[in-house]
Copies of this chain bind each other. A is one copy, B any other.
Amino acid sequence: MAHNATSDALAGLFEPPYFAVIFSSVRSGADAEGYGDMADRMMDLAVTQEGYLGVETVSNGAQGITVSYWRDEASIAQWRRHAEHQLAQKYGREKWYQSFRLRVAKVERERSFP
Contacts and interface: CB of A to CB of B under 8 A. Distances in A.
Nearest to A97: B113
Interface residues of A, number: 39
A87 interface: no
Interface string A90-114: 0011000101111111111111111
A105 B107 contact: yes
A59 interface: yes
Say what secondary structure dominates the interface of chain A. Answer: strand
Contact of A110 (B57, B60, B63, B102): B102
B102 A111 contact: yes
Contact of A67 (B24, B60, B109, B110): B24
Interface of A: 6, 9-11, 13, 20, 22, 24-26, 56-60, 62-65, 67, 92-93, 97, 99-114
9 contacts: A9-B24, A58-B63, A93-B113, A99-B112, A99-B114, A101-B111, A101-B112, A102-B110, A103-B110
